[in-house]
Chain A
Amino acid sequence: MFEIESAGDLMLGLITGIVFGFLLQKGQVAKYQTILGQLLLKDWTTFKIMITAIVTGSVGVYFLVERGAASLDIWPFQPAAMLIGAMLFGAGLALLGYCPGTGMAGAGEGSRDAMVGVLGMITGAGVLVVAYNILEPLALALGDWGKLTVPVLLASSSWTIIAALGLVVAVMLALLARYEPRHSRAHAGGTSIS
């Protein structure tokens, strides 16, 4: 009934996922306290991980794409979908305190509220599927601008943008190293099941 990919692809996905989950857990971002600490602009761990990953990733991925070893795989720019999606996403994230990937990692770490969150996530994805015919016109209300990238938008080379991004990220990390508020995860206990 459904296509099942080759055993090799399944194995590669599993290995990639295990490393991803391992890194998220070691990065302490599979915890409610860390995510809310970021949203309250106190604990910048999540932000540091993300911008470091973005810059590191972009160098290698653009290198692979230029050599024809991989292809860009991006979502088209759909302004209405982006606006509606970002508002719902932000609201849900603030309430749950785990994002979709770190929620799965939080469930792996054992957090019971993250497990409940994952069930909610599958339900939310189900709403999209079931209500797709109604939601699609809303998502496309401001058009579909195609698979737009920043270099194309600014009529600049990818490497110029990546270099500029690297510079901005370096400055942000230097500022954070100096001005990040003191924080602790000493309260990370909370109520647990016995």
Chain B
Amino acid sequence: MTNPFTLKSWSPYAVGIGIGILSWFAFATADKHLAITLQYEHIAAMAQMVLSPGTAATNRYYAVRAQAGLEPKIGWYLMLLLGVFIGALLSSCLSGDRSRITVPALWGWRFGDSTARRFAAAFAGGAVMVLGARIAGGCTSGHGISGTLQLAVQSWTFIVLAFVAAVGIAFLFGKEGRNHV
């Protein structure tokens, strides 16, 4: 029998069930849920507290988050984020599915193979995406999986609309890309 850890890919159903059970584990052991962008926000907030305590003092952000029990700290969510990096590193090393991609093939086909252009778009895309996630209170993990499984209205409306918006833009700029995936 093949060792499943050395396989490059698992059935999406198995992965989905695994993530579902992992959220039971997170709720049962830490009373927390799988969420990514809250920690990106906390990293930025802690940076502001250190670099510019004066502006931090007049920023309502800290009071609002503290009231919701989400004050910036070094804890479970930071370790979750580091863990995701380590877990993907481990999985890809075990299967040899390593990547050194600078310009993905589909991007290169549509927008050319300039690394600078791809990196600029990746940086800007990441920034806009997470700004949106933090305004709405979550991302594909925090809203798309954890919030929806708790049947939250904010999460269901967010993830459906975000998906529609992303599909719309993908079709607007690269419909012909359908022949390349």
Where the two chains meet, the residues of A that have a C-beta atom closer than 8 Å to any C-beta of B are 1-5, 9-28, 30-33, 36-37, 39-43, 45, 48-61, 64-65, 69-79, 81-114, 116-130, 132-133, 135-136, 138-139, 145, 147-151, 153, 158, 161-162, 173, 183-185, 187-194
* Size bin of chain B's contact surface: 35 or more
| In contact, B136 and A105 (Cβ under 8 angstroms) | no
| In contact, A70 and B135 (Cβ under 8 angstroms) | no
Residue from A17, A109, A158 within 8 A of B79 (CB atoms): A17
| In contact, B170 and A40 (Cβ under 8 angstroms) | yes
How many residue pairs between the two chains, A and B, have CB atoms under 8 Å in the bound complex? 569
In the bound complex, CA of A105 to CA of B139 (Å): 15
| In contact, B158 and A86 (Cβ under 8 angstroms) | yes
> Could you mark each residue 83-115 of chain B with 1 if its beta carbon is under 8 Å from any beta carbon of chain A, else 0?
111111111100101111111111111000101
Name which residue of chain B comes closest to A105, CB basis.
Answer: B88
* Residues of B close to A3: CB separation below 8 A: 71, 73-75
* Residues of B close to A57: CB separation below 8 A: 19-21, 23-24, 145-146, 149
Point out which of B26, B71, B91, B128 has the most chain A C-beta atoms below 10 A from its C-beta: B128
Q: Taking A84-B135, A108-B85 as contacts, is the C-beta distance between A96 and B122 under 8 angstroms? A: yes
A contact patch SS: helix
Q: Taking A36-B177, A61-B27, A69-B28 as contacts, is the C-beta distance between A104 and B132 under 8 angstroms? A: no
| In contact, B74 and A2 (Cβ under 8 angstroms) | yes
Expressed in whole angstroms, the minimum distance between the Cβ of A85 and any Cβ of chain B is 3
* Residues of A close to B76: CB separation below 8 A: 5, 9-10, 12-13, 16
Q: Taking A30-B88, A116-B122 as contacts, is the C-beta distance between A84 and B136 under 8 angstroms? A: yes
Q: Taking A103-B126, A113-B101 as contacts, is the C-beta distance between A136 and B60 under 8 angstroms? A: yes
Point out which of B44, B46, B90 has the most chain A C-beta atoms below 10 A from its C-beta: B44
| In contact, B16 and A50 (Cβ under 8 angstroms) | yes
In the bound complex, CA of A133 to CA of B73 (Å): 21
5 closest A-B pairs (Cβ-Cβ)? A17-B83, A56-B20, A85-B136, A52-B16, A21-B87
| In contact, B137 and A108 (Cβ under 8 angstroms) | no
| In contact, B100 and A123 (Cβ under 8 angstroms) | no
| In contact, A54 and B87 (Cβ under 8 angstroms) | no
| In contact, A60 and B136 (Cβ under 8 angstroms) | no
* Residues of A close to B54: CB separation below 8 A: none
* Residues of B close to A109: CB separation below 8 A: 88-89, 91-92, 97-99
| In contact, A87 and B161 (Cβ under 8 angstroms) | yes
| In contact, B131 and A124 (Cβ under 8 angstroms) | yes
Q: Taking A53-B20, A74-B147 as contacts, is the C-beta distance between A22 and B87 under 8 angstroms? A: yes
Q: Taking A14-B80, A53-B17, A54-B149 as contacts, is the C-beta distance between A37 and B181 under 8 angstroms? A: yes
Name which residue of chain B comes closest to A189, CB basis.
Answer: B105
Residue from A52, A90, A145 within 8 A of B166 (CB atoms): A90
Expressed in whole angstroms, the minimum distance between the Cβ of B92 and any Cβ of chain A is 4
In the bound complex, CA of A104 to CA of B37 (Å): 11
In the bound complex, CA of A161 to CA of B14 (Å): 23
| In contact, A14 and B79 (Cβ under 8 angstroms) | yes
